A and B are shown apart, each in its own frame.
Chain A
Amino acid sequence: MSNASEKTGNIQLLSDTLAKAKSEDRAALVAYLPAGFPTVDGAIDAVKAVVAGGADIVEIGLPHSDPVLDGAVIQTADDIALRGGVKIADVLRTVREAHEATGAPILVMTYWNPIDRYGVERFTAELAAAGGAGCILPDLPVQESALWREHAEKHALATVFVVAPSSKDERLATITAAGSGFVYAASLMGVTGTRESVGNQAQDLVRRTRATDGARRGLPVCVGLGVSNAAQAKEVAAFADGVIVGSAFVKLLLDAPDLPTGLDAVRALAGELAAGVRRS
């Protein structure tokens, strides 16, 4: 902890990973898994399994009591994690051990209040020290994000903003100008969860996002919400720089009779999705 302020975050690793996928003519596979679910160590094992299966980047969920943007699957996992007593210290340990074991860029995804309460400087310093690459904060809109971005930049952490099909072009421009790492394009209007189809809103949103100055500078655009299988991953990979999958992994862990079975299923799905994101 004494050298916490000396160690910088892994935003460069995140950018390099996305660039490498692009050079291989494929989209990156981004996986989401909540910390503390089913246990802190179980979640760390799940990150290892998903990277072993082929995920390039992992988002670790910091569970919140009021996950307004999450559907039933992630709500249930968050609930289990919080009842199990998961703390921010456990989330940071998850980031550290997952990154050390896999070498993959690890982001944290959460709501703003836990970080506001913990302290922005303290959180960004500790996340960077743990080897984290950045944060996705879906309820922190760009106009409220100045303090966060100041500290994130100081510690070399990415600020990944979410854009939605309802985002107007001028907002897309503001967001891509302020964001770093990549842009998270929500494929549809709704909360997290698996869907039958991804729909055509995503492709239009990616096109409009790419047309902004920020994206033209090279900020990748990854698509999430509703993607759960290889066919959908392939569809999205045709027009996006990355494919984000969350609830489908969490559901496998929820439905598994025990952790080893769940980990096998997570690894297998990651493998299928990793094959899906290849364009050729």
Chain B
Amino acid sequence: MSSEFFIPDPEGHVPNAEGYFGDFGGKFIPEALVAAVDEVAVEYEKAKDDPSFAAELGDLMVNYTGRPSALTEVPRFAEHAGGARIFLKREDLNHTGSHKINNVLGQALLTRRMGKTRVIAETGAGQHGVATATACALFGLDCTIYMGEIDTQRQALNVARMRMLGAEVIAVKSGSRTLKDAINEAFRDWVANVDRTHYLFGTVAGPHPFPAMVRDFHRVIGVEARRQILERAGRLPDAVAACVGGGSNAIGLFHAFIPDTGVRLVGFEPAGHGVETGEHAATLTAGEPGILHGSRSYVLQDEEGQITEPYSISAGLDYPGIGPEHSYLKDAGRGEYRAVTDDAAMQALRLLSRTEGIIPAIESAHALAGALELGKELGKDGLLVVNLSGRGDKDMDTAARYFGLYDGESAEGESK
């Protein structure tokens, strides 16, 4: 049973019972968490079949989030992409400003069904943290957000938003002090407080059932986009494109198009200063299969299995792992994954702002930069749907420094 807005994977062929998408996925978790993770899986299976769950989630998506999100054609931007038609799926217009709210509302309902009263979450750019803090305010749940110390600095606005919403924000000072370390710390909290706490995981990674469950909550993106592009353009697109950090907005857009074999699924990873410099977070481009945060997937690691420190200008993509379903799509040849540098993403951010009056998040700007290249490859007859996963308000400080938008300060980025 499903509503128009909650349609779990109708094929139901992946993952298998052990949580594997081909060779990727699984459940590499400490024994202390086995009961809690199993409880999430059981409760989610029940919820999936419960019409009242789909109805309540559908109601929230319409009347709280503001779904369906618009599909906006961007012709002035597309002039820079070889003339291909480009449509943006406007997840930036959702309440809280990104796609993250889709998953958060689903898991918040699940938290309530499990009778838990406290939620913890990791966040990189702060968008998942803000969405989680929002849902906790709405449902009256205690909320603790773990965020790498570097990210609390570059996304200070979102830290303030989370605190305004009543969440406790803990700056994580271990390791690379970014998203990966925030996840480590959230797992430590969960092990110690699992009785009353749900770990509201923010992407399509982690142990089974999170990759499949989080994907299901984001499937609405692609389901809507597919219907909208058929209405607007009269045909399926040649490609759908999204940025890829952990991979949640990308899988949300891609999934409804997987059976449409004529539609290319293209993910854009953060190349940072360039994959060749080693300062990047392009996991599928440069990683090897390994285990991180509870599942087997591509991982940035050294030859001894130590996770290497990622880098991206975008806090939301600055992660050395990737959801297992993306690894599966890559190895199956169904998904294409390319890398986009900081500079290309920042140029695309400014271009969309000035041609269309839409300021994208730096994360989403990676997909826009990729779309400029993809559009040129497709030519004038090309048709492209790009996921605009979040809005750029949170990134204005980074962008202002990069482009020299503050009075009396020169550009840090463009001079490099």
Contacts and interface: CB of A to CB of B under 8 A. Distances in A.
Interface in B174-194: 174-175, 180, 184, 187-188, 191-194
Interface string A242-268: 000000000000000000000000000
Interface in A168-220: 168, 171, 175, 186, 189-191
A138 B191 CA distance: 13
A164 interface: yes
Interface string B30-50: 111111100000000000000
A82 B306 CA distance: 9
A75 B174 contact: yes
Nearest to A171: B34
Contacts of B193: 189
Contacts of B292: 66, 113
Nearest to A168: B35
B27 A66 contact: no
Contacts of A235: none
Given A66-B180, A116-B291, A118-B305, A141 B192 contact: no
B31 A117 contact: no
A164 B31 contact: yes
Contacts of B174: 75, 79
A113 B290 contact: yes
Contacts of B27: 141, 143-144
A144 B180 CA distance: 23
B299 interface: yes
B31 A186 contact: yes
Contacts of B32: 162, 164-166, 186, 189-190
Contact of B191 (A64, A66, A191): A191
B407 interface: no
A12 interface: no
Interface residues of A, number: 40
B306 A114 contact: yes
A116 B290 contact: yes
A2 interface: no
A115 interface: yes
A161 interface: yes
A32 to B, nearest CB: 16
Contacts of A166: 31-36, 194
A101 interface: no
A66 B180 CA distance: 8
Most chain A beta carbons < 10 A, residue from B31, B191, B307? B31
Nearest to A184: B31
Contacts of A190: 32, 188, 191-192
Nearest to B301: A117
Contacts, number: 111
A253 B175 CA distance: 21
B18 interface: yes
A66 B184 CA distance: 7
A175 B303 CA distance: 31
B26 A88 contact: no
Interface string A113-149: 1111110000000000000000000111101100000
B403 interface: no
B28 A114 contact: no
B358 interface: no
Contact of A191 (B192, B291, B303, B308): B192
Contact of A113 (B18, B180, B291): B291
B194 A141 contact: no
Given A66-B180, A118-B304, A113 B29 contact: no
A117 B304 contact: yes
A167 B35 contact: yes
A88 to B, nearest CB: 6
Nearest to B174: A75
30 contacts: A64-B306, A66-B292, A66-B307, A69-B188, A82-B306, A87-B304, A112-B28, A112-B291, A113-B291, A116-B290, A116-B291, A116-B305, A117-B288, A117-B290, A117-B305, A139-B29, A141-B27, A141-B28, A141-B29, A161-B31, A164-B32, A166-B32, A166-B34, A167-B35, A168-B35, A171-B31, A186-B31, A189-B32, A189-B191, A191-B188
Given A164-B30, A164-B31, A167-B35, 6 more contacts: A69-B30, A88-B304, A141-B31, A171-B31, A171-B34, A186-B32
In the A-B complex, the 6 residue pairs with the smallest Cβ-Cβ separation, listed nearest first, are A117-B305, A114-B305, A164-B32, A190-B192, A65-B306, A113-B305
Interface of B: 18, 26-36, 174-175, 180, 184, 187-188, 191-195, 288, 290-294, 299, 301, 303-308
